[in-house]
């Protein structure tokens, strides 16, 4: 008897306008789920999936070329615990994913929108906190890293002010947490990196 065909890496919902039922993304769905919001080329996502085979990983990304690249790389590596969805992340978290599905949400080097008049596009914004809170399981954590000092100050002020999140110290240095593609670029350019972590009590 041949082995069952693994699910395709790209997850395409049957209905983009109805919340997904629990278990729609992964079988078995009892594994903890981690979500990489704006996963880019997926280097962080794929390293995490390879390192933690007992967890599931979902990348959310709006650029199709990046989605295709991740699918190719995941298939080449034989990873069965990683999927990507080609969709806008605020919508995905606030409406599409099953509520409270994620143990960890990673938002790593989101677009900084450096011009003042564009700052309202930044992902960490009071309007997006409800979606982050909805997607996280109780006791889950939200991890944020950026090279942009103004975005860091603004984002930490917004999340710290919310009763839905409680600040935690950053991870122990020994904990496996790969450097992302953009992080490597900023490290190479000598930019300081800032990181913050919160739990959903
Ligand atoms: C600066 S890159 C960082 C990528 C990756 N996290 C890293 O650190 O290497 C930001 C990524 O988020 C994606 N992105 C930006 N806004 C998004 C949105 N609203 N929904 C989904 N993806 C988004 C971009 O296409 C891009 O790949």
- Structural domains in the chain, CATH included, are 33-199 (3.40.50.150)
> Does the beta carbon of 61 sit less than 6 angstroms from any atom of ligand 1?
yes
Q: 61 alpha carbon to ligand 1 midpoint, in Å? A: 6
pLDDT tens by residue, the chain, 201 residues: 566 677 899 999 999 999 999 889 998 678 999 999 999 999 999 999 999 999 999 999 999 999 999 999 999 999 999 999 999 999 999 999 999 999 999 999 999 998 888 888 999 999 999 999 999 999 999 999 999 999 999 999 999 999 999 999 999 999 999 999 999 999 999 999 999 999 999
The pLDDT score that the predictor gives to residue 29 is 72
The pLDDT score that the predictor gives to residue 93 is 98
The pLDDT score that the predictor gives to residue 201 is 93
Q: 3 alpha carbon to ligand 1 midpoint, in Å? A: 35
Q: Which residues are catalytic?
A: 111
Q: Report residue 34 CA to chain centroid gap.
A: 7
Mutate to test the pocket of ligand 1, among 110, 118, 132, 189 (most ligand atoms within 8 A of CB): 110
- Among 112, 187, 108, 106, which residue's Cα sits nearest to residue 145? 108
> Does the beta carbon of 131 sit less than 6 angstroms from any atom of ligand 1?
no
Atom of ligand 1 nearest to the CA of 88: 20
For 99-116, letters b (16+ CB in 10 Å) and e give eebbbbbbbbbbebbeee
Distance CA 183, CA 190 (A): 10
CB 22, CB 101: distance < 8 Å: yes
């Amino acid at each position: 008897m041949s082995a069952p065909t693994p699910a395709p890496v790209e997850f395409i919902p049957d209905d983009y306008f109805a919340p997904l039922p629990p278990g729609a993304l992964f079988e078995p769905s009892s594994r903890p789920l981690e979500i990489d919001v704006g996963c880019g080329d997926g280097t962080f996502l794929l390293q995490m999936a390879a390192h933690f085979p007992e967890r599931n990983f979902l990348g959310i990304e709006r650029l199709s070329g990046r989605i295709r690249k991740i699918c190719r790389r995941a298939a080449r590596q034989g990873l069965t615990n990683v999927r990507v969805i080609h969709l806008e992340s605020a919508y995905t978290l606030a409406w599409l994913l099953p509520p409270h599905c994620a143990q960890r949400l990673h938002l790593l080097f989101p677009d900084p929108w450096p011009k003042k008049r564009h700052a309202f596009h930044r992902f960490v914004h009071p309007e997006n906190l409800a979606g982050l809170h909805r997607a996280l399981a109780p006791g889950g954590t939200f991890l944020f890293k950026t090279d942009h000092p103004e975005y860091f100050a603004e984002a930490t002020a917004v999340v710290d002010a919310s009763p839905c999140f409680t600040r935690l110290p950053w991870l122990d240095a020994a904990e496996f947490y790969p450097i992302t593609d953009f992080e490597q670029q900023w490290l190479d350019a000598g930019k300081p990196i800032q990181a913050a972590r919160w739990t959903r009590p």
